[in-house]
């Protein structure tokens, strides 16, 4: 479930954050579901608990999970509360990456198809249309 590459340039905690975001976005993990405890996951991945905690804290500050002292860590309900700052940041990153993709010869059609498929897989957090 969590494939970590300890040799990667990418810090372990960032890899964890990415992977967990992915599982949340694709609704493999759903609202209020409990995550493995810091210690349990640390043991499973043979990683230091502090590193797990760092990942959980980052996810919490990004609004993807919430942690309760003495109880555990849980998936946050999907937030249609438009964090406009965060949206701007993602749009900005997208702009750069899409430009590079187009430059590398990935066609508009391929990109459109990619979006269609991703949206289908995710289920679309917010509907484009009123009548489903």
Partner DNA sequence: GTGGTCTAGACCACG
Place of tokens 């438009």: 82
Cβ neighbours for 100, distance < 8 A, ≥ 6 positions apart:
none
Pattern 59-98, DNA, x by CB under 7 A? --------xxxxxxx-------------------------
122 part of the interface to its own copies, by CB under 8 A:
yes
Residues of this chain that interact with DNA (CB under 7 A) are 6, 9, 11-14, 35, 37-40, 47-51, 53-54, 56-57, 67-73
Residues of this chain that interact with its own copies (CB under 8 A) are 6-9, 11, 18, 21-22, 24-26, 61, 66-69, 71, 74, 78-80, 82-83, 86-87, 90-91, 93-109, 111-112, 114-116, 118-119, 122, 124-126, 128
């Amino acid at each position: 479930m969590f494939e970590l590459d300890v040799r990667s340039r990418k810090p372990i905690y960032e890899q964890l954050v990415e992977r967990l975001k992915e599982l949340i976005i694709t609704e493999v993990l759903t609202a209020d579901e409990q995550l493995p405890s810091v210690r349990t996951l640390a043991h499973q991945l043979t990683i230091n608990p502090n590193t797990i905690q760092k990942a959980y804290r980052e996810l919490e500050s990004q609004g993807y999970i919430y942690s309760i002292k003495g109880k555990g860590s849980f998936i946050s309900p999907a937030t249609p509360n438009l964090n406009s700052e965060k949206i701007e940041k993602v749009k900005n990153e997208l702009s750069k990456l899409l430009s590079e993709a187009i430059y590398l010869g990935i066609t508009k059609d391929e990109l459109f198809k990619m979006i269609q498929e991703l949206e289908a897989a995710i289920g679309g957090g917010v509907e484009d249309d009123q009548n489903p």
